[in-house]
Amino acid sequence: MPGDLEILSPDRLFIFSSPRTASNLFMRILARPDQPKVFLGDPADELVFLHPVVHLRDTGLMQKPYDDWTDNEKAELKDKFQHAFNKLHNHMETARAAGKVTVVKEHASFLSEPLGREKLINGNGACTGDLPWNVQLPEEYNSMPPNLAPNETVLPSEFLLTCFPTFLIRHPMLAFPSYYRAFNGVKERDTIQIEDIQSHLKWTMTFKWTRNLYDWYTDVWAKYGAALNRPKPVILEADDIMGTEVIVNYCKLVGLDPRKLKYTWEPVRASELAPLSKQMRRMKDTLHASTGILKEKISQDLTLEEEVSKWKAEFGESQASQLEEWVKAAMPDYEYLWGNRLTL
Protein backbone atom coordinates (compact mmCIF):
# COMPACT_ATOMS: atom_id res chain seq x y z
CA MET A 1 0.00 0.00 0.00
CA PRO A 2 1.14 3.59 -0.50
CA GLY A 3 3.20 4.88 2.41
CA ASP A 4 3.75 1.22 3.48
CA LEU A 5 0.87 1.37 5.96
CA GLU A 6 -0.79 -2.03 6.36
CA ILE A 7 -4.37 -2.97 7.13
CA LEU A 8 -4.70 -4.78 10.50
CA SER A 9 -0.93 -4.73 10.75
CA PRO A 10 0.67 -7.52 12.81
CA ASP A 11 3.34 -4.94 13.68
CA ARG A 12 0.80 -2.77 15.50
CA LEU A 13 -0.79 -4.83 18.25
CA PHE A 14 -3.36 -2.70 20.07
CA ILE A 15 -4.74 -4.02 23.37
CA PHE A 16 -8.17 -2.53 24.12
CA SER A 17 -8.96 -3.14 27.76
CA SER A 18 -11.38 -1.93 30.41
CA PRO A 19 -10.45 -1.03 33.99
CA ARG A 20 -9.78 -4.09 36.16
CA THR A 21 -9.82 -6.65 33.34
CA ALA A 22 -6.40 -8.04 34.32
CA SER A 23 -4.72 -5.92 31.67
CA ASN A 24 -1.67 -5.20 33.82
CA LEU A 25 -1.32 -8.89 34.57
CA PHE A 26 -1.65 -9.68 30.87
CA MET A 27 1.12 -7.24 29.95
CA ARG A 28 3.32 -8.68 32.69
CA ILE A 29 2.83 -12.23 31.39
CA LEU A 30 3.62 -11.16 27.81
CA ALA A 31 7.04 -10.04 29.07
CA ARG A 32 7.56 -7.41 26.40
CA PRO A 33 11.19 -6.71 27.42
CA ASP A 34 12.02 -10.33 26.59
CA GLN A 35 10.13 -10.43 23.29
CA PRO A 36 12.78 -9.91 20.56
CA LYS A 37 10.32 -8.40 18.08
CA VAL A 38 8.77 -5.86 20.47
CA PHE A 39 9.79 -2.22 20.69
CA LEU A 40 9.70 -0.99 24.28
CA GLY A 41 10.11 2.76 24.15
CA ASP A 42 9.17 4.90 27.15
CA PRO A 43 7.21 3.12 29.94
CA ALA A 44 5.07 6.28 30.08
CA ASP A 45 3.75 5.43 26.60
CA GLU A 46 1.16 3.12 28.21
CA LEU A 47 -2.35 4.49 28.80
CA VAL A 48 -1.44 7.86 27.28
CA PHE A 49 -5.15 8.68 26.96
CA LEU A 50 -5.45 8.66 30.73
CA HIS A 51 -4.26 12.28 30.70
CA PRO A 52 -7.29 13.70 28.83
CA VAL A 53 -9.53 11.66 31.15
CA VAL A 54 -7.85 13.13 34.24
CA HIS A 55 -8.29 16.58 32.68
CA LEU A 56 -12.01 15.87 32.20
CA ARG A 57 -12.33 14.90 35.85
CA ASP A 58 -10.18 17.64 37.35
CA THR A 59 -11.84 20.45 35.37
CA GLY A 60 -15.37 19.27 36.19
CA LEU A 61 -16.22 18.65 32.54
CA MET A 62 -17.38 15.13 33.37
CA GLN A 63 -20.21 16.56 35.41
CA LYS A 64 -20.87 19.56 33.15
CA PRO A 65 -23.36 19.00 30.27
CA TYR A 66 -21.60 19.13 26.91
CA ASP A 67 -23.83 21.90 25.63
CA ASP A 68 -22.53 24.08 28.47
CA TRP A 69 -18.86 23.60 27.58
CA THR A 70 -17.16 26.78 26.41
CA ASP A 71 -15.18 26.96 23.17
CA ASN A 72 -11.99 27.30 25.21
CA GLU A 73 -12.83 24.20 27.25
CA LYS A 74 -13.46 22.19 24.08
CA ALA A 75 -10.25 23.44 22.46
CA GLU A 76 -8.16 22.63 25.53
CA LEU A 77 -9.55 19.08 25.74
CA LYS A 78 -9.02 18.54 22.01
CA ASP A 79 -5.40 19.57 22.49
CA LYS A 80 -5.07 16.98 25.28
CA PHE A 81 -6.44 14.23 23.04
CA GLN A 82 -4.21 15.31 20.14
CA HIS A 83 -1.13 15.37 22.37
CA ALA A 84 -1.93 11.86 23.62
CA PHE A 85 -2.38 10.57 20.08
CA ASN A 86 0.84 12.22 18.90
CA LYS A 87 2.72 10.45 21.68
CA LEU A 88 1.14 7.11 20.78
CA HIS A 89 1.76 7.59 17.06
CA ASN A 90 5.38 8.67 17.55
CA HIS A 91 5.93 5.49 19.57
CA MET A 92 4.52 3.39 16.73
CA GLU A 93 6.50 5.23 14.06
CA THR A 94 9.75 4.89 15.99
CA ALA A 95 9.12 1.16 16.28
CA ARG A 96 8.34 0.89 12.58
CA ALA A 97 11.58 2.68 11.68
CA ALA A 98 13.46 0.17 13.85
CA GLY A 99 11.69 -2.79 12.23
CA LYS A 100 9.97 -3.66 15.50
CA VAL A 101 6.45 -4.50 16.71
CA THR A 102 4.49 -2.25 19.04
CA VAL A 103 2.26 -3.70 21.76
CA VAL A 104 0.24 -0.85 23.25
CA LYS A 105 -2.65 -0.81 25.71
CA GLU A 106 -5.49 1.65 26.23
CA HIS A 107 -8.83 1.42 27.99
CA ALA A 108 -11.57 1.53 25.35
CA SER A 109 -13.67 3.89 27.48
CA PHE A 110 -10.77 6.37 27.72
CA LEU A 111 -10.75 6.56 23.92
CA SER A 112 -14.47 7.25 23.64
CA GLU A 113 -15.26 10.60 22.05
CA PRO A 114 -17.04 13.14 24.30
CA LEU A 115 -20.32 13.29 22.39
CA GLY A 116 -20.80 9.53 22.56
CA ARG A 117 -19.87 9.54 26.23
CA GLU A 118 -22.38 12.33 26.95
CA LYS A 119 -25.15 10.34 25.25
CA LEU A 120 -24.34 7.27 27.34
CA ILE A 121 -24.44 9.23 30.59
CA ASN A 122 -27.36 11.58 29.93
CA GLY A 123 -29.35 10.01 27.07
CA ASN A 124 -29.54 10.37 23.30
CA GLY A 125 -30.90 13.91 23.47
CA ALA A 126 -28.00 15.13 25.61
CA CYS A 127 -26.10 17.00 22.86
CA THR A 128 -27.54 19.41 20.32
CA GLY A 129 -24.45 20.38 18.31
CA ASP A 130 -20.92 19.64 17.12
CA LEU A 131 -19.55 16.78 15.07
CA PRO A 132 -17.99 13.70 16.70
CA TRP A 133 -14.45 14.41 17.85
CA ASN A 134 -11.45 13.01 15.98
CA VAL A 135 -7.74 13.65 16.36
CA GLN A 136 -5.86 14.81 13.28
CA LEU A 137 -3.86 12.25 11.30
CA PRO A 138 -0.69 12.65 9.20
CA GLU A 139 -1.25 12.76 5.42
CA GLU A 140 0.05 9.21 4.98
CA TYR A 141 -3.33 7.91 6.20
CA ASN A 142 -4.97 9.34 3.09
CA SER A 143 -3.88 6.09 1.44
CA MET A 144 -6.35 4.09 3.52
CA PRO A 145 -9.57 2.86 1.86
CA PRO A 146 -12.25 5.57 1.65
CA ASN A 147 -15.73 5.51 3.19
CA LEU A 148 -14.79 3.59 6.29
CA ALA A 149 -17.57 3.18 8.83
CA PRO A 150 -17.37 5.63 11.74
CA ASN A 151 -16.40 4.45 15.21
CA GLU A 152 -17.08 5.80 18.71
CA THR A 153 -13.53 6.76 19.65
CA VAL A 154 -11.44 9.89 19.13
CA LEU A 155 -9.21 7.79 16.87
CA PRO A 156 -10.11 8.09 13.17
CA SER A 157 -11.13 4.86 11.47
CA GLU A 158 -8.19 5.21 9.06
CA PHE A 159 -5.79 4.87 11.99
CA LEU A 160 -7.65 2.03 13.69
CA LEU A 161 -7.62 0.17 10.39
CA THR A 162 -3.81 -0.09 10.62
CA CYS A 163 -3.85 -1.76 14.06
CA PHE A 164 -4.50 -5.38 14.94
CA PRO A 165 -6.85 -5.45 17.95
CA THR A 166 -7.04 -7.55 21.09
CA PHE A 167 -9.92 -6.97 23.53
CA LEU A 168 -9.69 -7.84 27.21
CA ILE A 169 -12.83 -8.60 29.21
CA ARG A 170 -13.63 -9.78 32.73
CA HIS A 171 -16.87 -10.68 34.45
CA PRO A 172 -18.59 -7.46 35.65
CA MET A 173 -19.13 -8.98 39.12
CA LEU A 174 -15.33 -8.88 39.51
CA ALA A 175 -14.27 -5.93 37.35
CA PHE A 176 -16.82 -3.33 38.49
CA PRO A 177 -16.50 -3.62 42.29
CA SER A 178 -12.72 -3.81 41.90
CA TYR A 179 -12.70 -0.49 40.03
CA TYR A 180 -15.06 1.08 42.53
CA ARG A 181 -12.88 -0.24 45.35
CA ALA A 182 -9.80 1.37 43.83
CA PHE A 183 -11.43 4.80 43.96
CA ASN A 184 -13.02 4.20 47.35
CA GLY A 185 -9.65 3.26 48.81
CA VAL A 186 -7.99 6.59 47.98
CA LYS A 187 -10.84 9.04 48.58
CA GLU A 188 -9.85 9.76 52.19
CA ARG A 189 -6.23 10.45 51.25
CA ASP A 190 -6.69 12.29 47.98
CA THR A 191 -8.90 14.89 46.34
CA ILE A 192 -11.04 12.21 44.67
CA GLN A 193 -14.56 11.91 46.06
CA ILE A 194 -16.80 9.07 44.93
CA GLU A 195 -19.81 11.38 44.92
CA ASP A 196 -18.07 13.70 42.44
CA ILE A 197 -17.23 11.05 39.84
CA GLN A 198 -20.51 9.19 39.42
CA SER A 199 -20.58 10.13 35.73
CA HIS A 200 -17.04 8.75 35.32
CA LEU A 201 -18.05 5.50 36.97
CA LYS A 202 -21.19 5.18 34.85
CA TRP A 203 -19.10 5.77 31.74
CA THR A 204 -16.57 3.06 32.64
CA MET A 205 -18.85 0.47 34.32
CA THR A 206 -19.92 -0.91 30.97
CA PHE A 207 -18.68 -3.08 28.11
CA LYS A 208 -20.51 -0.95 25.54
CA TRP A 209 -17.28 0.65 24.29
CA THR A 210 -15.53 -2.71 23.96
CA ARG A 211 -18.45 -4.37 22.19
CA ASN A 212 -18.97 -1.51 19.72
CA LEU A 213 -15.27 -1.37 18.86
CA TYR A 214 -15.09 -5.15 18.55
CA ASP A 215 -18.05 -5.10 16.17
CA TRP A 216 -16.40 -2.32 14.15
CA TYR A 217 -13.21 -4.37 13.82
CA THR A 218 -15.16 -7.53 12.98
CA ASP A 219 -16.83 -5.70 10.09
CA VAL A 220 -13.43 -4.38 8.95
CA TRP A 221 -11.95 -7.88 9.12
CA ALA A 222 -14.81 -9.29 7.03
CA LYS A 223 -14.27 -6.58 4.43
CA TYR A 224 -10.46 -6.47 4.30
CA GLY A 225 -8.74 -8.76 6.80
CA ALA A 226 -9.95 -12.14 5.57
CA ALA A 227 -8.57 -11.44 2.09
CA LEU A 228 -5.22 -10.44 3.62
CA ASN A 229 -5.14 -13.63 5.73
CA ARG A 230 -5.18 -11.64 8.96
CA PRO A 231 -6.48 -13.31 12.12
CA LYS A 232 -9.94 -12.33 13.31
CA PRO A 233 -10.09 -9.71 16.09
CA VAL A 234 -9.19 -11.41 19.37
CA ILE A 235 -11.05 -11.33 22.68
CA LEU A 236 -9.31 -12.63 25.81
CA GLU A 237 -11.18 -13.25 29.05
CA ALA A 238 -9.41 -12.61 32.37
CA ASP A 239 -10.05 -16.16 33.64
CA ASP A 240 -8.31 -17.51 30.53
CA ILE A 241 -5.42 -15.06 30.93
CA MET A 242 -4.81 -16.61 34.34
CA GLY A 243 -4.30 -19.98 32.66
CA THR A 244 -1.48 -20.69 30.23
CA GLU A 245 -2.77 -22.50 27.16
CA VAL A 246 -4.87 -19.66 25.74
CA ILE A 247 -2.06 -17.11 25.99
CA VAL A 248 0.32 -19.51 24.26
CA ASN A 249 -2.26 -19.86 21.51
CA TYR A 250 -2.61 -16.07 21.39
CA CYS A 251 1.13 -15.51 21.02
CA LYS A 252 1.30 -17.93 18.12
CA LEU A 253 -1.65 -16.15 16.51
CA VAL A 254 -0.16 -12.64 16.71
CA GLY A 255 3.49 -13.51 16.11
CA LEU A 256 4.93 -13.21 19.63
CA ASP A 257 7.24 -15.83 21.12
CA PRO A 258 5.33 -18.00 23.65
CA ARG A 259 8.64 -19.26 25.04
CA LYS A 260 9.24 -15.80 26.49
CA LEU A 261 6.03 -15.70 28.53
CA LYS A 262 6.50 -15.22 32.28
CA TYR A 263 4.25 -16.64 34.96
CA THR A 264 6.39 -15.74 37.98
CA TRP A 265 8.32 -12.58 38.89
CA GLU A 266 9.78 -10.57 41.74
CA PRO A 267 7.58 -8.10 43.66
CA VAL A 268 8.02 -4.48 42.65
CA ARG A 269 10.47 -2.61 44.91
CA ALA A 270 9.32 0.36 46.98
CA SER A 271 11.76 2.64 45.12
CA GLU A 272 9.99 1.81 41.85
CA LEU A 273 6.58 2.63 43.34
CA ALA A 274 7.60 6.00 44.76
CA PRO A 275 7.09 8.04 41.55
CA LEU A 276 3.55 6.70 41.04
CA SER A 277 0.42 8.54 42.14
CA LYS A 278 -1.64 7.17 45.04
CA GLN A 279 -4.36 6.09 42.67
CA MET A 280 -1.96 4.38 40.26
CA ARG A 281 -0.31 2.52 43.13
CA ARG A 282 -3.76 1.43 44.31
CA MET A 283 -4.73 0.26 40.82
CA LYS A 284 -1.72 -2.06 40.66
CA ASP A 285 -1.14 -2.90 44.31
CA THR A 286 -2.07 -6.59 44.03
CA LEU A 287 0.12 -7.09 40.96
CA HIS A 288 3.03 -5.13 42.43
CA ALA A 289 3.03 -7.27 45.57
CA SER A 290 2.58 -10.58 43.75
CA THR A 291 5.13 -13.13 42.61
CA GLY A 292 2.85 -14.80 40.05
CA ILE A 293 -0.71 -15.37 38.90
CA LEU A 294 -3.36 -15.38 41.65
CA LYS A 295 -5.81 -17.93 40.35
CA GLU A 296 -8.30 -17.37 43.15
CA LYS A 297 -9.34 -14.13 41.41
CA ILE A 298 -11.57 -15.87 38.86
CA SER A 299 -15.30 -15.69 38.23
CA GLN A 300 -16.10 -19.38 38.69
CA ASP A 301 -19.09 -20.08 40.98
CA LEU A 302 -19.89 -16.39 41.60
CA THR A 303 -23.54 -15.51 42.16
CA LEU A 304 -24.92 -11.99 42.00
CA GLU A 305 -26.95 -12.40 45.18
CA GLU A 306 -23.90 -13.37 47.21
CA GLU A 307 -21.74 -10.64 45.68
CA VAL A 308 -24.33 -7.94 46.33
CA SER A 309 -24.44 -9.02 49.97
CA LYS A 310 -20.67 -8.55 50.17
CA TRP A 311 -20.88 -5.14 48.49
CA LYS A 312 -23.50 -3.98 51.01
CA ALA A 313 -21.17 -4.86 53.85
CA GLU A 314 -18.19 -3.20 52.17
CA PHE A 315 -19.69 -0.14 50.44
CA GLY A 316 -23.13 0.38 51.94
CA GLU A 317 -26.66 -0.25 50.68
CA SER A 318 -26.86 2.57 48.13
CA GLN A 319 -23.56 1.90 46.38
CA ALA A 320 -24.16 -1.86 46.40
CA SER A 321 -27.48 -1.27 44.62
CA GLN A 322 -25.73 0.96 42.08
CA LEU A 323 -23.08 -1.69 41.42
CA GLU A 324 -25.80 -4.31 41.00
CA GLU A 325 -27.54 -2.10 38.44
CA TRP A 326 -24.32 -1.57 36.48
CA VAL A 327 -23.53 -5.29 36.51
CA LYS A 328 -26.98 -6.30 35.27
CA ALA A 329 -26.86 -3.67 32.50
CA ALA A 330 -23.42 -4.86 31.37
CA MET A 331 -24.16 -8.59 31.26
CA PRO A 332 -25.62 -8.75 27.70
CA ASP A 333 -22.50 -7.09 26.25
CA TYR A 334 -20.18 -9.20 28.39
CA GLU A 335 -21.91 -12.45 27.46
CA TYR A 336 -21.79 -11.52 23.78
CA LEU A 337 -18.07 -10.81 24.00
CA TRP A 338 -17.46 -13.93 26.12
CA GLY A 339 -19.12 -16.02 23.44
CA ASN A 340 -16.59 -14.72 20.90
CA ARG A 341 -13.48 -15.06 23.05
CA LEU A 342 -10.35 -16.92 22.01
CA THR A 343 -10.38 -20.53 23.17
CA LEU A 344 -8.12 -23.54 22.64
Decide if 344 is inside a domain.
Answer: no
Helical H segments across the chain, by residue range: 23-30, 50-58, 71-97, 108-111, 114-122, 157-160, 172-184, 198-204, 208-220, 238-241, 245-254, 270-273, 278-283, 285-289, 304-315, 317-339
Band the pLDDT of 32: cuts 50, 70, 90. very high
Please report the pLDDT score of residue 95 as a whole number.
94
- pLDDT tens-digit series, residues 254-265: 999 999 999 887
Total number of domains in the chain: 1
Decide if 19 is inside a domain.
Answer: yes
- pLDDT tens-digit series, residues 287-296: 445 666 666 6
Closest CA to 117 of 217, 220, 212, 235: 212
Q: What is the mean pLDDT of residues 130-143?
A: 90
Decide if 65 is inside a domain.
Answer: yes
Contact of 25 with 287, CB cutoff 8 Å = yes
Maximum average pLDDT range among 40-54, 123-137, 303-317: 303-317
3-state secondary structure of 227: coil
Contact of 236 with 166, CB cutoff 8 Å = yes
Q: What is the pTM of this model?
A: 0.89
d(C-alpha 131, C-alpha 115), whole Å? 8
Residue 271 in this model has a pLDDT that exceeds 60:
no
Decide if 67 is inside a domain.
Answer: yes
Q: What is the mean pLDDT of residues 185-214?
A: 75
Give the residue numbers spanning the domain of 148.
Answer: 2-339
Decide if 256 is inside a domain.
Answer: yes
Decide if 188 is inside a domain.
Answer: yes
Helices 172-184/317-339 angle, 10° precision: 140
Question: From the CB of residue 229, how many other CB atoms can be counted at a distance below 10 Å?
Answer: 6
Residue 194 in this model has a pLDDT that exceeds 60:
no
Band the pLDDT of 119: cuts 50, 70, 90. confident
Residue 280 in this model has a pLDDT that exceeds 80:
no
Distances (CA, A) of 344 to 98, 231, 298: 33, 15, 18
d(C-alpha 37, C-alpha 110), whole Å? 27
Please report the pLDDT score of residue 288 as a whole number.
45
Decide if 44 is inside a domain.
Answer: yes
Decide if 165 is inside a domain.
Answer: yes
